[in-house]
Structure 1
Amino acid sequence: MIISHQFSKVLRSIVIAIVVLFCLAPILWQVLTSFKTNTDIAAIPNIFLPRQFTLGHYEELFARRPVWNYLLNSTGVASISTLLSLGLGAPAAYVLARAKLPGERLILATILLLTLFPYILLFLGLLELVQNFGLGNQYLALIIPYTAINLPLTILVLRSFFQQLPIELEDAARIDGYSTLAMLVQIVLPMTVPALVTTGILAFIFAWNEFIFALTFITQESMKTIPVAASQLGGASVFEIPYGPIAAATVLGTLPLVGLVLAFQRRIISGLTAGAVKG
């Protein structure tokens, strides 16, 4: 019995390791490619581990393009749209969780449908709006759509969290003389930080990685975001694909997201598990 239990543990560990390796293999390949020499990149058969590590692709990338500028553009657009999504979504979610609104089920069904709606279908309509309002090459052309796309998911996630908060705390605060605003800021808001962080990171990742709108609405080189800039890296000739610099740009564009998740991993776990067990 003990041998069988130990065997099952070993087998489970092996399966988990295989799944993790399978998921991380493309990422590892991209990271290693950014450190390979051009000879190793072009080698046939392919070489997984570089025979010689080099930082030349990163140096070439920074020499050819204003990478820091692209990163700042992405950070600004993603941060502002995330803050707007949370600022608009949190009050709406609280109202839907606490107030008994007429047509509440219809409102929730509409929000749910919006979260499932493919945002790419909005492209042509948004393109006309951007042209009509003269928003081309302005960050508002990205911030407004990103906020609108992230709002339904933000409202649904935060509403679910607000429903799990004991309403007795709010009733006690009102008895103690708290105004509605003071109660929300001093009592409810601190308890919702994990959910806000989790939802905010999801919104930030979407805004950071979005490509189609950023490619179309922003054509000025200095205003481009990092996904667009990475996709437009060219070689010395038309027929050359600079795999090394592209891999380096991909790694640099992913590092801020990895750092963000690692910095708030405890909050993320708390937000994901909050309300899982009621009582």
Structure 2
Amino acid sequence: MRNRTRKGWRKYVNTINISAVVIALLTALPIYWLFASSFKPTGELGALPPSILPQNPTLDHYREAFGQYSFSTYMLNSVLIASVTTAVVLALALFSGYALARMPVRGKAPLLVGLLVISVFPTIAVLTPLYLLERSLGMLNSYHGLILPYIAFNLPFAVWIMRNYLKDLPFELEESARMDGASSTRTVLSIILPAARPGLFTAGIFTFTASFTEFLMAMTFNSEDNFRTVPVGIALFGSEFDIPYGTIFAASVIAILPIAILVLVFRKSVVSGMTAGAVKG
């Protein structure tokens, strides 16, 4: 009986492992194809049957992205806007999440529901009012014209992540600090902040990625080339009669790098934050 159970369990584990490998390969295939295509000459991109590896690798598409188009400007804009947004969101989410997780707050339950509702609210539903508001305030074609709405849209989810992570930390951490006469702000910065780093990394990755890849508001609010971000800049590559697919592939590869580096560098903290609190209710 034990042998049957053991064999059944092994079969189940093997099935899970095989499924995971298949899913990983299917996920990695488009990324590999994007990467390989960015090094193919223009004539080779449309060849049939398509080649798995570039037959005549070239860097021409990368040169065009930075030479013919203002891709370096788009990258700097996206990194700046996403970085400032992430820093402000994390600072506010840390204290807000602490208050919701560790302090008696009136109406906490409806407030948490409201955070969830706002975090899934479609951007396009408020795009026109936001545009009219920014136009009346003179915020179009500026950095803060994107940073402020990005903060507003990303903060609710970050607060939800931090609240779910902080509520599982032992209360003894704060009690010992209060016994030493530390204020609430001092307690958060000295005691809670170091313990909450996995949750902060998780919220930070989500916020940075959402801000870096956002398209609708960036396309609507910033029409001047000097303030365009990566998604908008890539979408406007080419002209009515020519679509430079190779240059678009090369620019997309470069755009992936900041997010990929962040995930690789902080992967352990992100996984820890997600498993410890980010996916809990």
TM-score for the superposition, normalised by structure 2: 0.91
For 1:2-48, what per-residue CA distance to the aligned partner results, in whole angstroms no more than 9, with x for missing partners?
A: 98877666554433222111111111111111011112101123333
Letter of the aligned partner of 1:171 in structure 2? E
Counterpart of 2:157?
153
Q: How many residues align?
A: 276
Shift of 1:180: 2.3
- Aligned with residue 248 of structure 1, among 247, 250, 272: 250
Q: Percent identity?
A: 37
2:167 match: secondary structure: helix
Instruction: Give structure 1 stretches of 5+ with no counterpart.
Output: none
Give the direction of change, closer, same or farther, for the CA distance of 1:171–1:3 in structure 2 (3 Å limit).
closer
For 1:153-207, what per-residue CA distance to the aligned partner results, in whole angstroms no more than 9, with x for missing partners?
A: 0111101111101112211211122222222211111101111111011000000
Counterpart of 2:274?
272
Give the direction of change, closer, same or farther, for the CA distance of 1:6–1:122 in structure 2 (3 Å limit).
same
Counterpart of 1:120?
124
Q: Is 1:144 aligned to 2:112, yes or no?
A: no
Q: Which aligned pairs between 1:1-279 and structure 2 lie closer than 5 A?
A: 11-234=15-238, 238-275=240-277
Give the direction of change, closer, same or farther, for the CA distance of 1:7–1:195 in structure 2 (3 Å limit).
closer
8 A Cα contact 2:95 2:188, kept in partner: no
Shift of 1:273: 2.1
Q: Which runs of 4+ in 1 moved over 3 A?
A: 1-14, 275-278
When the two chains are superposed, the root-mean-square deviation of aligned CA atoms in Å is 2.1
Letter of the aligned partner of 2:30 in structure 1? P
Shift of 1:65: 1.8
Letter of the aligned partner of 1:83 in structure 2? A
For 1:103-142, what per-residue CA distance to the aligned partner results, in whole angstroms no more than 9, with x for missing partners?
A: 2222112112112211221101111111111111011110
Give the direction of change, closer, same or farther, for the CA distance of 1:187–1:249 in structure 2 (3 Å limit).
same
CA distance in 1, matches of 2:277, 2:134: 40
1:51 match: secondary structure: coil
Letter of the aligned partner of 1:216 in structure 2? T
8 A Cα contact 2:161 2:278, kept in partner: no
Shift of 1:232: 0.8
For 1:26-82, what per-residue CA distance to the aligned partner results, in whole angstroms no more than 9, with x for missing partners?
A: 111111110111121011233332222111111122110232221111011001111
Letter of the aligned partner of 2:198 in structure 1? P
CA distance in 2, matches of 1:106, 1:3: 49
Give the direction of change, closer, same or farther, for the CA distance of 1:59–1:192 in structure 2 (3 Å limit).
same
8 A Cα contact 2:202 2:273, kept in partner: yes
CA distance in 1, matches of 2:18, 2:34: 24
Give the direction of change, closer, same or farther, for the CA distance of 1:4–1:167 in structure 2 (3 Å limit).
closer
CA distance in 1, matches of 2:93, 2:12: 45
CA distance in 2, matches of 1:106, 1:160: 15
Instruction: Give structure 2 stretches of 5+ with no counterpart.
Output: none
User: Larger deviation: 1-10 or 191-200?
Assistant: 1-10
